[in-house]
Chains A and B, each alone.
Chain A
Amino acid sequence: MAILTRRDFVKAAGAAATLPILGSTAKAADKLKVGFIFLGPIGDYGWTWAHNKGRLAVETALGDKVETLYTENVAEDASAVPAIRDLANAGCKLIFTTSYGYMDQTIQVAGEFPDVKFEHCTGFKRADNVSTYNSKFHEGRAVLGTIAGMMSKSGKLGYLGSYKVPEVVLGVNSFTLAAQKKNPNATVSLVLIDSWYDPPKEAAATETMINLGDDIITTHTDSPGPLQILEQKGLYGFGQGADMSQFAPHAHLTAIEDIWGPYYTERTQAVLDGTWKSTDTWDGFKEGTVHISPYNSAVPADVQKAADEIQQGYKDGKFNIFTGPIYAQDGTLKVKDGEVIADADLAVMDWFVKGVSTAS
């Protein structure tokens, strides 16, 4: 047997130094490490891409003071726990978990790391070191619904969703109500495909809706797949999370863009300053988390004007799509004339408005 030499120890130490996740090195101790858990790939040009832009914005704004880490394609199940924990063990003091399905896992890991701050997107459970944040995507849906209501020839619209979670319900309802303001007979068929990101299934579902007569389709799932189908068929649709016009130059009328950069930077700065507290944030047009992409040239001037009015209404605080009278699917009056649904009720909404047809 060979005797261990000093050289072997040096080699072993060298190898150990390359083990990345085993705690941070002295050099990096000054930088604040910020971690991100992403649902999909940063190249999805949708949901995760927008969150990644937020991460890059933090790096740009705070430069040498921060170092960011991220993990893509983290499933919304128990395997998220080790993923979040890895970031905490790598020295992250602030971790963003960017999808609803990470809720319980975030709470669990937050309990193990009381000195690490967590920000959970679109969830509702908080703790001393866990904040929640959300964007009023449904405000953007009101803009899309207005455009769809005015431009649809058949009055039959399609909505591609994932699960019947409040975020999707709000989106569908907002879209439908806005379309009906322009075309009282507009209907929306909703297909829930039980996934946030599954391009072939999204495409097949889109094709099915088209075959059933829907001529404008909006998606609440994360890939540009549906837009590609719409482009092939010469129909119209909208992008989700980011401007997806490169995938469908003719079909893509506009998109809801998620702007996370300012919020992420603000929260990171709070950790740097030591002023971070657990909060619940739900911003929209007014605060700048929702942005509408440039309109396709196919959108007529009067439609653009109507869409702009909705945006301005939200920014001024004068407009809210969830203003009564609003009827449920079965026709009962749920919101009286002039009444506005409170944010707290919106956050748990589980019923659809009249005109939405669903399988469940």
Chain B
Amino acid sequence: MSVEFFVAAIVTIVGLSTPILLAGLGELVVEKSGVLNLGVEGMMLIGAIAGFAASVVTGNPWVAVVAAAVAGALSASLFGFFVLTLNSNQVATGLALTIFGTGLSSLLGLNYTGRIVMQFGSVFPPALSKHPIWQVLFGYSPIVYFAIIMVGLVSWFLGRTRSGLILRAVGENDLSAHSIGYSVIGVRYAAVAFGGAMAGIGGAYFSMVITPMWAERMTAGRGWIALALVVFAGWRPGRLLWGAYFFGILMALELYAKASGFSFLPSQFWAAMPYLMTVVVLAIISSRESGGGNAPACLGKPFLPAN
């Protein structure tokens, strides 16, 4: 087990973790504001095709990432309209968004199978980014660093700014926040759009970085892992970062188990681990603190101000 092996393994794990970190971070903000958006998988796929298509058309990966974010935000806002303005059931609407996003991305992607796109250049010089040891810090796509920076930004926003406090208040006690004069619906719309943008970028990571091509349903269920991750992290951004890499390790273990002939436990055991661990964590945090643990108190409930 050489240093190079560990470096290579870490690089792989970071690649596996980044999309769920991005989507999970977005969903964390959404849920902190009291909304449960189960449509993450659909939004990621929309971001994946939007980013890929924009990259094919413009040849510029940076523009493409922005396009992915915008597409994700738009699809999330559609969800927001139903859930916030029309007060429709969040679970059903979120599922509809997933099914819708999957179908829409497949349809729009029809003309893009078999195409290839420009990849991101690295932000660091090749001496660092391709170095067998130092690439563990410098060898990643810009999106990876963006994700880590965003964790810090979101953490600061939620914990240290007034707007973040308002968002949290809206998620914990929407009626009180409303009576103080804050726009519960407005805050939630913004949060939902942010969640969509992050999910879109997470999806674009698949079609632009991991395998720069388009294939139907290429996110392969990672949106659901992102949902699990938010819960696993107890709705805390810092824990989300470690949780994402932990899940990435589990995903990598599934593949390493297959590749190295390690058959003590079936590969499906590792594949199931992120979900099992989330259930266990749910059970622990829910039982330790009363009333469902750290979940925002208004999570999933419609905002019905008594007028």
Contacts and interface: CB of A to CB of B under 8 A. Distances in A.
A and B touch in the complex (CB under 8 A): yes
Interface of A: 41, 43-45, 49, 73, 158, 189, 191-193, 197-205, 207-213, 223-225, 228-229, 232, 246-247, 357-360
A90 B39 CA distance: 37
Interface stretch (B22-30, B169-177, B253-261): B253-261
B155 interface: no
A229 B251 CA distance: 18
B5 A211 contact: yes
B8 A211 contact: yes
B211 interface: yes
Given A41-B113, A200-B218, A200-B220, A359 B213 contact: no
Contacts of B16: 204
B9 interface: yes
B15 interface: yes
A12 to B, nearest CB: 29
A189 B114 contact: no
Contact of A43 (B5, B15, B114): B114
A49 B119 CA distance: 25
A192 B216 CA distance: 21
B114 A210 contact: no
A203 B256 contact: no
Interface in B196-247: 206, 210-213, 215-216, 218-220
Contacts of B260: 189, 212, 357, 359
Contact of A44 (B113, B206, B211, B251): B113
B267 interface: yes
Contact of A212 (B210, B220, B259): B259
A210 B210 CA distance: 15
A198 B220 contact: yes
Given A43-B113, A189-B261, A359-B267, A208 B256 contact: yes
Contact of B259 (A43, A197, A205, A224): A205
13 contacts: A41-B113, A41-B215, A193-B258, A200-B220, A204-B210, A204-B251, A204-B252, A205-B255, A205-B259, A208-B258, A225-B211, A228-B212, A359-B262
Given A41-B113, A211-B8, A359-B263, A199 B213 contact: yes
Which of A191, A232, A357: most chain B CB closer than 10 A? A191
Contacts of B113: 41, 43-44
Given A199-B218, A228-B212, 4 more contacts: A43-B113, A44-B113, A359-B258, A359-B267
B116 interface: yes
Contact of B211 (A45, A199, A213): A199
Interface string B257-275: 1111111000100000000
A199 B259 contact: no
A188 to B, nearest CB: 11
Nearest to B260: A212
A44 B263 CA distance: 32
A37 to B, nearest CB: 17
Given A204-B12, A359-B267, A73 B114 contact: no
A103 to B, nearest CB: 24
A202 B259 CA distance: 12
Contacts of B211: 199-200, 202-203, 223, 225, 228-229
